[in-house]
Amino acid sequence: LDPAAAYKRVMLKISGEALMGDQGFGLHPPTVQRIAREVKSVRDMGVEICMVIGGGNIFRGLSGSAQGMERTTADYMGMLATVMNALAMQSALEGMGVFTRVISAIRMDEVAEPYIRRRAVRHLEKKRVCIFAAGTGNPYFTTDTAATLRANEMACEAIFMGKNGVDGVYDKDPKVHPDAVRYDEISYDDVFAKRLKVMDASAIALARDNNLPLIVFPLDEPGGFRGILSGKGTYTKVQG
């Protein structure tokens, strides 16, 4: 492990939208490759990496159900969308020589490994990047909750939430309010009380109750993820 690395095992959560580039929808392979390079540079430090990728660039259960679809069916479609994103990330990483496993919460053995906790831990020990797909496998949850759940199960030291166009958690939306102030540190209770849009309530509760810190950082700058791992750059740390 590179002595500059502040963490040995981490969870990286990105939204599905982080993969769509400027297209407004779907997958943009050059963007996927750009993020894969960020992941590789942290893997090259010897850090063990778990990943959860959302599915919002392809399908969101809530918007499906708002248009008359049955909610749980729409949520399963959302979970399947995360599998597509995971496979795209796997392909980009392996193209760069990074060994990976896609591990699905819903069985689809031809495409991805089933989730078996001890097996996933073993992959991490062997420095394979583990991409956890299909969320928690349950409707009514989000991939933020999936990331928090798997981070706890894999004994990650922190969740890193990579954002596009924002370098942390602000007291109000910085895109709307120019006077918005970024927090260097904030507690989960304050995030909840102030209703800041960081993660949904179930993910916040799961992280807070298990003392899992969350680091919200910008994923647009090259080398940003590696910098944050070495304690450099701007970010917000949510803990306590």
CA-to-CA dists, residue 37 to 90, 198, 221, angstroms: 12, 25, 12
Backbone dihedral angles phi then psi of residue 8, each to the nearest 5 degrees: -100, -35
Q: What is the DSSP letter of 18?
A: G
Q: Is 21 in the site for ligand UDP (CB under 6 A)?
A: no
Site string for ligand UDP, 60-79 (x = CB under 6 A): xxx------------x--xx
Answer for which of 7, 132, 141, 170 binds ligand UDP (CB under 6 A) is 141
Enumerate residues 6+ apart whose C-beta is below 8 A from 222.
34, 37, 38
Enumerate residues 6+ apart whose C-beta is below 8 A from 130.
49, 50, 51, 100, 101, 103, 120, 123, 124, 154
Measure the CA–CA gap between 238 and 240, rounded to whole angstroms.
Answer: 7
- Which of the stretches 23-31, 94-102, 140-148, 152-160 binds ligand UDP when contact is defined by CB under 6 A? 140-148
Nearest approach, Cβ of 58 to ligand UDP (angstroms)?
8
Nearest approach, Cβ of 221 to ligand UDP (angstroms)?
20
Rank residues 187 and 210 by Cβ distance to ligand UDP and give the closer one. 210
Q: Looking at residues 144 to 183 of the shown chain, list those that interact with ligand UDP (rule: CB under 6 A).
A: 145-146
Q: Is 56 in the site for ligand UDP (CB under 6 A)?
A: yes
Q: Which residues of this protein are in contact with ligand UDP, per CB under 6 A? A: 15-17, 54-56, 60-62, 75, 78-79, 81-82, 135-136, 138-139, 141-143, 145-146
